[in-house]
Amino acid sequence: MPVTVTRTTITTTTTSSSGLGSPTIVGSPRALTQPLGLLRLLQLVSTCVAFSLVASVGAWTGSMGNWSMFTWCFCFSVTLIILIVELCGLQARFPLSWRNFPITFACYAALFCLSASIIYPTTYVQFLSHGRSRDHAIAATFFSCIACVAYATEVAWTRARPGEITGYMATVPGLLKVLETFVACIIFAFISDINLYQHQPALEWCVAVYAICFILAAIAILLNLGECTNVLPIPFPSFLSGLALLSVLLYATALVLWPLYQFDEKYGGQPRRSRDVSCSHSHTYYVCGWDRRLAVAILTAINLLAYVADLVHSARLVFVKV
């Protein structure tokens, strides 16, 4: 059963089958020769190559292209910061919890690169004519996939093991918080067109659910990264359990109301994609209204499952103050 600390001040190294249990070399170039160091070098190189290939031919346009370019640049920059901190032995001076920050970023980076690896080729690359720009874009997608696998591998290597004392973000509920906030951000991107829910109280309620649950999950993450869980007026475990339970209940209502009012004709919905005029033609960098509605319904179901899993796993955690 995972043992989680609310303040991450434990510095002992545990043994794991991934080869990461050897003593950490702090403030030395030899840190790069360790398995985790080599993995982060792969992350750094793959994201650098991805955005360099795209930037060299200007193969990004529109919101989807901008998102992909931002993803690769952001992941490269933060990975570089992490490597510098570890090479110089600056973990103790880092403003955020070092036991929570690297794995939190790795989880976000894996999701970011996964989204870029899907969005970039499907909404941009396929519309490019054959030539140098298309070749660079395809190669960038390939390196984006490599980065995604590398970040996911880091998460698998550094996540908490049963019986291990670690930071909350390395546990299953902590990683699920990252997934929940990421999915919520994707939902916000799809509902950026207010015409999808405006003048429908039930749909506006769904939007409120997405916002409330996102804010609460983000607060939980920030409290752990800042090591300030003790500022809450209630015990942190109680806060997490209440947050998971409340989110499950709220998302359950959204899972019912969103499809009902978007796809049922009785409530003004459009059951068929062919009836949506905006979906009659293929547009570069554009997702039509009906597809947006369907995507939000699917993402709502995914997040509900994530919150249910969060609620179940949270009950199995033991919190220890050190």
Which string of DSSP letters, residue by residue, matches 202-217? HHHHHHHHHHHHHHHH
pLDDT score for 167: 84
pTM, whole model, 2 decimals? Answer: 0.84
pLDDT score for 147: 97
> pLDDT of the chain along its 322 residues, tens only?
333 443 333 232 333 434 454 344 445 667 777 888 899 999 999 999 999 998 988 877 777 788 889 999 999 999 999 999 988 888 888 999 999 999 999 999 999 999 999 988 887 777 677 888 888 889 999 999 999 999 999 999 988 877 677 788 998 899 999 999 999 999 998 888 888 888 789 999 999 999 999 999 999 999 999 988 888 888 888 889 899 999 999 999 999 999 998 887 787 767 777 666 667 665 555 677 778 889 999 999 999 999 999 998 887 765 555 5
Distance from C-alpha of 195 to C-alpha of 291, rounded to nearest angstrom: 14
Distance from C-alpha of 191 to C-alpha of 3, rounded to nearest angstrom: 38
Distance from C-alpha of 203 to C-alpha of 209, rounded to nearest angstrom: 10
Buried b / exposed e along 187-200 (16+ C-beta atoms within 10 A): bebbbeeeebbeeb
pLDDT score for 192: 85
- CB atoms < 10 A from the CB of 221, how many? 19
Distance from C-alpha of 105 to C-alpha of 245, rounded to nearest angstrom: 25
CA angle, residues 193, 198, 199, in degrees to nearest 5:
165
Q: What is the DSSP letter of 23?
A: P
Rounded to the nearest 5°, which phi and psi values hold at 318? Answer: -115, 125
Q: Which of 48, 164, 62 is nearest to 113 (CA)?
A: 48
55 bridge partner residues: none
pLDDT score for 22: 39
